A and B are shown apart, each in its own frame.
Chain A
Amino acid sequence: MNRIENTEHERLTFWEKLYLPEIAKGLGITLKQMFKPKFTRQYPEERWEPTGSYRGRPVLVLDEDGERCVACGLCSRVCPALAIEVQAGETEREKERYPVKFEINMLRCIYCGFCEEVCPEEAIVMSKDYELVFTNREDAILGKDKLLVPIHKLQERLEFLREYK
C-alpha cells in the first residue's frame, strides 16, 4: 500500500484546520508590528555616518608636507577593474617621485580596497564618501584635484588600517 503518512492535513489540530483563529493570530502579530520602532532613515535630512571600516570612494592622502603618493603604480597594477591610471614624474623633494597624473574612473571602481591594501606609503585609502553621483562619463573620472583629501579627514580610516591591516 502506498499510503502517505504524516500529511499536513493529519498534523493540524481541529482549531488550526478551522483557519480563522490562526488568521486572527496572524493579524495580532502584524498589529504588534505597527507599534514597533521604525527602521526608516529620513535620508536627505538624516545622513548615515559610516565607521572607519567602511569602504567608500578611494582618495589620496594629503599630508602636511604634500601628497604621500610616490607613483609606484602598484595600485594601478593590482586594480581588478582597471580603474586607476598613474603617470610618474620627478621632483626636487625628499621622496623624489610624484604622480603627474592620477586618475580613478569611478564608473569602473568596485570598491574592493585592493589599492589601499597594496599601497606601501599608505597614500591611497578608502574614504567614507558614499554619495557619488555623476551626470556624464567625463565627470566620473576623478583627477588629482578631486582625489587629494587632507589627512585630518581620514584619521578614522588610517587608525582602522593600522589596527587591522
Chain B
Amino acid sequence: MTDWLSLVIEFLIKALILLTLILLIAAAFGVWLERKVSAWIQNRIGPNRVGPFGLLQPFADVIKLFLKEDITPHAADKFFHRIAPVISLGVAFSVYAVIPFAEPFKYNDRLIYFSITTPDVNIGILFILALTSVGVYGITFAGWSSNNKYSLLGGLRSSAQMISYELSMGLSLVGVLLVCQTFSLQEIVQKQALWNWNLFYQPLAFIVFLVSAFAETNRAPFDLPEAEPELVGGYNTEYSGMKFGMFFLAEYANMFTSSLIIVLLFLGGWNLPVPPEWLGLQQGSFLLSLIQFCILIFKVLLMVFFFIWVRWSVPRFRYDQLMYLGWKVLLPLALVNLFVTSIVLYVLK
C-alpha cells in the first residue's frame, strides 16, 4: 500500500516539475527564440522591452491572449470548434509521458526514472508515433468545424500532408530500430554512448526523418496548413483568444517534441562527450542525471534553433511539390535505407 502511494506521489511530483519545465522552455522560451532569431535574420533587434532581453515577452503575449474576446463563428460546429485546440494541445503534451530525459538515479535505494511515467516504457517510439498522428485531428477538426473555406483547405492540407510524410518518417525510424534492436528510448540512448551516435550509422534516415519532422510539426517550409498568404490563417483563421493560443502553444510544444525525438534517436541523447567516470561522476547519482538532463536540453535547444533558422530561410513548398517530395523522393530513400541496413546487419551477423 505505501509502495503504491509513494509511486503516485513520485509520479505527480515528476509530472508537475517536468511539465512546468517543458512549458517554460518549449513554449515560453521557444516563442521568445523564434521572435529573436527572426529579428536577427532580418537585421532587427526583436522584443527587448518586457523583462531583460525581452525574455518575459511570451508571458505578456499570453496575458494578452487571455484578455481577448473569444469569438466563435455563427455557422461553426460549436462542439468540434471548442474541442479542436484541446486535442492539439493535449496530444502535444501527452507525448512527454514516455520521453526519458536522463538516466535513472538512486534515491533511498529507489531507482527514480527521469521521465513522467515511472518505469521505462519499452514501446516508447510506437507510442510517440501514434500520438503525434492523432495531433493532426485537432487541426483537421479546427479546419472543418470553422465552416470557412480557407480553414477547411488548411485542415485538408494538414491531413494530406500527414499521410504523405508519416510513411517515410516511420520507415526511416525502422532503420534506427534495426541498428539498436529495441523500441525503448532509454535503451536507444544507452546504445549511443559516447560518440556512437545513430547519425553516423544512419545518415540517410536522419535526413529523411528531419525533413519529415518539419512536415509533421507543420513548420516552414511545410507550413501549408496555415500558409498565411494564400489561406488567410489556414486552420486557425476563425480562432481567437486563448483558443488560438492553444494552437500556438501546441505548435511550439510539437517543435520541442520533434527536436527531442531527433536528439534522442540520432544525436546521442543525454550522453556525455566523455565517460562520466573521468569527471568523477558515479553511475546512478543525482548529479549525473542532472548533468545529462542539461546536456539533453542544450542539444534540443540547438535543434529548436535549427527549426527556427530554417523557417526564416527557406520559402514555403507548393502543394504538388510537397506531395512529390513525400511520395517520390523521401519514401524511396527511406525504403533504400531500410533495405541496405537490413542487408548490412544480416551480413555482419
Contacts and interface: CB of A to CB of B under 8 A. Distances in A.
Interface of A: 20, 23, 26-27, 29-31, 33-34, 36-40, 42
Contacts of A26: 313-314
Nearest to A29: B313
A33 B314 contact: no
Given A20-B207, A23-B314, A26-B314, A33 B43 contact: yes
B313 A40 contact: no
29 contacts: A20-B207, A23-B310, A23-B313, A26-B314, A27-B309, A27-B310, A27-B313, A27-B314, A29-B313, A30-B41, A30-B309, A30-B312, A30-B313, A33-B41, A33-B42, A33-B43, A34-B37, A34-B40, A34-B41, A36-B43, A38-B43, A38-B44, A38-B45, A39-B43, A39-B44, A40-B43, A40-B44, A40-B45, A42-B45
A-B CB proximity, top 6 nearest: A34-B40, A30-B313, A40-B45, A30-B41, A26-B313, A40-B44
A111 B92 CA distance: 54
Interface residues of B, number: 13
A42 B40 CA distance: 15
Interface in B305-320: 309-310, 312-314
Contacts of B42: 33
Most chain A CB neighbours (cut-off 10 Å) among B37, B43, B312, B313:
B313
Interface string B310-349: 1011100000000000000000000000000000000000
Contacts of B314: 23, 26-27
Nearest to A36: B43
Contacts of A31: 309
B72 to A, nearest CB: 34
Q: What does DSSP make chain A's interface, helix, strand, loop or mixed?
A: helix
Nearest to B312: A30
Given A30-B309, A30-B312, A33-B42, 15 more contacts: A23-B314, A26-B313, A27-B309, A27-B313, A27-B314, A29-B313, A30-B313, A33-B40, A36-B43, A37-B43, A38-B43, A38-B45, A39-B44, A40-B43, A40-B44
Contacts of A39: 43-44
Nearest to B211: A20
Contacts of A27: 309-310, 313-314
Contacts of B43: 33, 36-40
Contacts of B207: 20
Contacts of B41: 30, 33-34
A30 B42 CA distance: 8
A142 B13 CA distance: 65
A42 B54 CA distance: 14
B211 to A, nearest CB: 9
Nearest to B207: A20
Most chain B CB neighbours (cut-off 10 Å) among A27, A30, A33, A40:
A30
Contacts of A33: 40-43
Nearest to B37: A34
Interface string B15-33: 0000000000000000000
A72 B82 CA distance: 68
A39 B40 CA distance: 10
Contacts of A42: 45
Contacts of A36: 43
B253 to A, nearest CB: 24
Contacts of A38: 43-45
Interface string B187-230: 00000000000000000000100000000000000000000000
A7 B46 CA distance: 41
Nearest to A37: B43
A77 B44 CA distance: 45
B8 to A, nearest CB: 47
Contacts of A40: 43-45
B336 to A, nearest CB: 15
